[in-house]
Amino acid sequence: MPNTSRSHAPRRFMPPYILERIASKGSDRLRDCAQHTLVDDRHFRARPGGASLPPVSPQPGQSVRYIYSAERQRRLPGVLVRSEGEGDSGDLAVDEAYRWLGATYRFFWEVLERHSIDDRGMALLGTVHYGQDYENAFWDGTQMVFGDGDGELFNRFTIALEIVAHEMAHGVIEREARLEYFSQAGALNESLADVFGSLVKQYERGETAEQADWLIGEGLFTDQVTGRALRSMAEPGSAYDDPILGRDPQPRHMDNYVLTEEDNGGVHINSGIPNRAFYLAAMALGGHAWEHLGRVWYDTLLDQRLGQQSDFATFAGLTLDNTLRRFGASSPESHAVRDAWRDVGIQP
């Protein structure tokens, strides 16, 4: 039976192994920030998705956003600072959260015809300035939450569109597939959030697969960190190599799959494998990835055959089947998807 505590655990952006490394290698202040974040993350319990929310958007294609400030406390949702249609607040984190939630909504509506997280116009809630130097962001079952970072290694977690989109995508994934947050199913959960996060960024910028950076968390690191982002979908394992953070541990092929009980069975580590498969297929096809592969991955998310404990091979097979249904057996898309999974060591 699926583990319900894993199924409903908060979806956090920052992997625990990075925070644990900082807690052992950083300065006194950095160790303190990392340890407090780890404690918060371990003890925070997700709120049920049915918790009381503001009214939904009655108009498909129109988002309803509410941005709150926790005022550096650990309370949710906090003090309402900006609502749908209001102008800039002057608070950078507030205005980034508002803008990026809007961009994510537009992607899901304009590309996938999905009306918010639940496809019924659910209000989009974001809380910024959560905690004291909190080094993470998460989806808690009801809303998105963003810390300010420590200012030495990490900037604010609203700085990158794909971080905000990643957390909102977790809400969509939770509503549709409820993938257990452990082992390969959990890594698929994280990979899907990365895929949609990257596609939102590409759509917002109008980028082709060749023009995209395929980075997740671009701008999160300060200039004191030797690294480009938290993850690279193009080259898993290459995003950072830093004296304090260590080296990006993501594998890019099943030959290097990491067996571990840490990080919920390696959900943030092994997500590099399906991430690279998506990247390879997108590059083989070229053009705008959201126009072909984005639709296929979304079809697969909605596929009733995708179970709570689905593994990589099951997911790969479903993506190929959905590609065949949408584009046909002899299409470039079907060849690209099949070859991409084989190139990372998975037979769909």
Given pLDDT bands bounded at 50, 70 and 90, which one contains residue 52? confident
Sole residue written with tokens 């082709």: 208
* Tokens (6 digits) for 149: 């970072």
Q: Residue 329: its pLDDT value, please? A: 95
Catalytic machinery residues: 167, 268
| Terminal alpha carbon distance of the chain | 25
Q: Residue 147: its pLDDT value, please? A: 98
CA separation for the pair 191, 184 (Å, rounded): 10
Identity at 131, one-letter amino acid code: G
pLDDT tens profile 11-29: 899 999 999 999 999 999 9
CA separation for the pair 8, 131 (Å, rounded): 22
CATH for the stretch 4-174: 3.10.170.10
- Matching CATH number, 183-343, of 3.60.110.10, 1.10.1490.10, 3.40.50.2300, 1.10.390.10: 1.10.390.10
Q: Residue 18: its pLDDT value, please? A: 97
Q: What is the mean pLDDT of residues 193-220?
A: 98
CA separation for the pair 280, 210 (Å, rounded): 11
Residues of the chain with CATH 3.10.170.10: 4-174
Identity at 106, one-letter amino acid code: R
CA angle at 115 for the pair 113 and 118, rounded to the nearest 5°: 120
When comparing pLDDT for 161 and 41, which is higher? Answer: 161
Whether 6 has a pLDDT exceeding 60, the answer reads no
Residues of the chain with CATH 1.10.390.10: 183-343
